[in-house]
Amino acid sequence: MPNANHNLGRRRLLQGVAASWLLSVSRTGFAASSHVIAVRVWPSSTYTRVTLESNVELKYKQFALTNPDRVV
């Protein structure tokens, strides 16, 4: 029996290592490691410009909404 428990523990350890490795090389793993480094705002009388700086390239979508008018 002690050998069976040892094999079960080893199997769980290997599964944990494999799962950690897969997460680190997957898109989810890369997304989890992105950080916003800086935010800059330039106000103007006709518009406001906001810049986000990150340690990795960010994926985004931009679209307009109304009532009130805004870009999201």
Q: What is the pLDDT of residue 30?
A: 53
Task: Give how many domains the chain has, as a whole number.
Answer: 1
- Are 18 and 28 within 8 A, CB to CB? no
> Is the pTM value of this prediction over 0.75?
no
Give the chain's end-to-end CA distance (angstroms, integer): 60
- Is the model more confident about 8 or about 48? 48
pLDDT tens readout for residues 45-66? 888 888 888 888 888 888 888 9
